[in-house]
Amino acid sequence: MNRRHLLGSAAMAACLWLPACYDDIKVVQGTVVKVDSAGYSLTVRNERDPKIPSAYKLASRANAKRGDVVRIAFREHGRQRLVVRLMNVTRARSQVEK
């Protein structure tokens, strides 16, 4: 097999493989309304649509409390929103101000 065929095969494989790995990650920022007692889910009131708060599931305990402003990167799986990354904007601001 010459280089041309090898590169063509590799490019074709990449085109078929990449869409399967692509996940639509969404980002939201808002105020924490509620954190469950175990700390593995929280409810956030989105800044863009504050009328309806949304619930998010976490793999580890939340480092946020009620009233904190958070930025969440998440994936939707069915009706659940699974958090990929959580940034506590309130605590980041307070660290900068010190």
pLDDT in tens, 17-55: 554 455 689 999 999 999 998 889 999 999 988 888 999
Instruction: Look at the pTM and tell me if it is higher than 0.85.
Output: no
Residue 87 lies in a domain: yes
Residue 50, CA distances (Å) to 7, 37, 57, 76 in order: 50, 23, 19, 19
CATH number for the domain that contains residue 76: 2.40.50.320
**So what's the pLDDT on residue 82?**
94
Residue 70 lies in a domain: yes
The answer to whether residue 47 is domain-embedded is yes
Evaluate whether residue 9 is within a structural domain.
no
H-type alpha helices, 22-88: none
Instruction: Provide the residue range defining the domain that includes 80.
Output: 24-97
- 5 occurs within a structural domain: no
End-to-end CA distance of the chain: 63
- Which amino acid would we find at residue 91? R
Q: Please name the residue that has the structure tokens 């305990």.
A: 61
* Total domain count, the chain: 1
